[in-house]
Amino acid sequence: MSFQNEVGGIAADRLKSIIERVERLEEEKKGIQSDIRDVLAEAKSAGFDVKIIRIIIKLRKMNAADRDEQEALTDTYRRALNF
C-alpha cells in the first residue's frame, strides 16, 4: 500500500492523525485532572485529609501481596530507625 502523502518514507497523513488523536486525549486528560482536583477539594472541605486519600488510592491500585510487602518493609524500616 502506498500513501500519496509520504515525506521521507513517512506517511504524513497517518502521522498527523496520530498526533491529533494524542492532542485530543491530552486535552481530555486535563479535564479529568481538573475533575479530580475538584473532588479532592470537596473532600478537603468535608474535613478529609487529601494526602491520606491519595495514599489510600495508591494502595488500592496495588495487589494484596505487593501491599503486604510494602507494609512489612515500612514496618521493618521504622523499627530499624526506632520510630
Distance separating alpha carbons of residues 32 and 24, to the nearest angstrom? 13
Percent of the chain whose pLDDT exceeds 70: 95
Distance separating alpha carbons of residues 56 and 52, to the nearest angstrom? 6
The set of residues, in sequence order, having a beta carbon less than 8 Å from that of 14 and lying 6+ positions away, is 3
**30-46 tens-digit pLDDT:** 999 999 999 999 999 99
Average pLDDT, the chain: 93
Q: At what angle do helices 50-61 and 12-45 cross, to 10 degrees?
A: 130
pLDDT of res. 7: 76
Q: Give the predicted TM-score (pTM) of the model.
A: 0.68
Could you tell me the maximum CA-CA distance found in the chain, to the nearest angstrom? Answer: 70
Distance separating alpha carbons of residues 71 and 65, to the nearest angstrom? 10
At 1, the pLDDT band (50, 70, 90 cuts) reads very low
